[in-house]
Amino acid sequence: MSRIFIKGNIAVSKGALDAGCRCYFGYPITPQNDIPEFMSKAMPETGGEFVQAESEVAAANMLLGAAACGIRAMTSSSSPGMSLKQEALSYMAGSELPGVIVNMNRGGPGLGDIGPSQGDYFQSVKGGGHGDYKLLVLAPGTVQEAYDLTFLAFELAFAYRNPVLILGDAIIAQMQEPITPRDPLAVDPFEGGSWRLEGAMDREPRILKSLHLTDGALAGHNLKLQEKYQRAAKECRYEEFLTEDAELIVVAYGSIGRIVKSTIRKLRKEGIKAGLVRPITLFPFPSAILESLAHQGRKFLTIEHNMGQMVEDVRLSICGYAKSDFFAQLPGNLPTPNDFEKPIRDALRS
């Protein structure tokens, strides 16, 4: 396949298309508007369906409906819109429905701004809506990864019958890079043969629901969901960069992870022994590798484009075995590799 030069938003859209997405439901919000714009043309051209919903609430519920039919479907949004989608995501997790959701994270809380941020980490990996549930969360650090992880998102959504979130940010969304696309997948347009809705067809009716009123039923259901999330631990993915001899492990994800990589590359030339662990799945979180590095006596520095969220998961992973610092890149602006030199030097000295 020849290389193409595209924006992160288009990479996710094209990734969805090539991964067999048949329905897209969305609502405009900056900085992800390229996705509904792309899909409004691509879906009808390929025999799929595009609906510009009346709200993010409706778009997420349309996704729920399509998911119940075993269709590969997607919605996308950005931070304030994601808050509105949470109700449907909770129902989808509760009803065990597969779907792909994209959040191009912007600055908050509230209307915040349209610049990049990682302020939605908690919302993304800790449930987001009501009840005991998890989304599987994938965090691309490059435009190529945004494309590739969209394939993975659909695969995981159906393998686990759970919503999968692609968590990018305004940098990934708007940045253009060359990528190598794959051959489009030939997928069964109606996956989930054993559970999808299609009319009762001379068999027992199938009911996809999250209501469990009989004694002990909800407890059993919640336990089943938790077992599923534990099973998903094997889907954990991360990038390790120069960690072998590193005295300091920087933990950073998404765009920030990629920028930190440049900083480390530069500092290495001065003999500064820093390495990077860049989580690619934020849930399941790559705790095992962090714990193992902690036992080897490394120091830790978490860098995030927020006031400190993933750092809590880093600290839980290393269980107090290692020193752990945090650097907050304030949201809403675009950091450069130079911005992270001082925090890395400071963490090494401390």
Partner 1 sequence: MEEVLAYESPRLLADKLSHYCPGCHHGTVHKLVAQCLEELNLGQNTICVGSIGCSVFIYNYLLLDAVEAPHGRAPAVATGVKRSRPDKFVFTYQGDGDLASIGLAEIMHAANRGEKISVVFVNNTVYGMTGGQMAPTTMIGQQTTTCPGGRCAEREGQPMKMAEIMAGLGGVTYSARVAVNNIKNFKKAKKALKKVFEIQMAGKGFGFIEFLASCPTNWRMTSPAANKRLTEEMIPYFPLGVYKDLEGDA
User: What residues line the site for partner 1 (CB under 8 A)?
Assistant: 22-23, 25, 49, 51, 53-55, 57-59, 61-69, 71, 73, 87-88, 91, 95, 197-202, 205-211
Tell the smallest beta-carbon distance from residue 250 to partner 1 (Å).
40
Nearest distance, CB of residue 121 and partner 1, angstroms:
25
Query: Which residue's CB is nearer to partner 1, number 71 or number 173?
Result: 71
Quick check: helix, strand or coil at residue 297?
coil
Neighbours of 65 (CB within 10 A): 15
Cα–Cα distance for residue pair 214/236, rounded to 1 Å: 35
Beta bridge partners of 137: 165, 283
How near is the Cβ of 131 to partner 1 at its closest, in Å?
12
List the Cα angle 215/221/227 in 5-degree steps.
140
228 token code pair: 């599923």
Name the packing angle between helices 254-268 and 341-349 (round to 10°). Answer: 70
Nearer to partner 1, 89 or 256 (CB): 89
Residues 6+ apart with CB under 8 A from 135: 89, 93, 101, 124, 125, 127, 128, 162, 163, 164, 165, 283
Full DSSP string of 249-293: EEE--HHHHHHHHHHHHHHHTTT--EEEEEESEEES--HHHHHHH
Residue closer to partner 1, measured from CB, 71 or 248: 71
For residue 85, which of 77, 97, 93 has the smallest C-alpha distance?
Answer: 77
User: In which residue are the tokens 């401390």 written?
Assistant: 350
Give least dist CB 38 to partner 1, A: 18
Q: How far is the CB of 7 from partner 1 (least distance, A)?
A: 27
CB of 129 to partner 1, least distance (A): 10
Closest to partner 1 by CB, 52 or 287: 52
Is the Cβ of residue 186 or residue 213 nearer to partner 1 in the bound state? 213
- At closest approach, how far in Å is the CB of 69 from partner 1? 5
Minimum CB distance to partner 1 smaller for 210 or for 287: 210
CB 281 → partner 1: shortest distance, Å? 27
Alpha carbons 19 and 156: distance in angstroms, whole number: 12
64 vs 166, which CB is nearer to partner 1? 64
Q: Which is nearer to partner 1, 33 or 52 (CB)?
A: 52
Helix axes 287-295, 310-318, angle to 10 degrees: 50
CA dist 11 and 223 (Å) reads 36
Q: CB–CB of 232/281 below 8 Å?
A: no
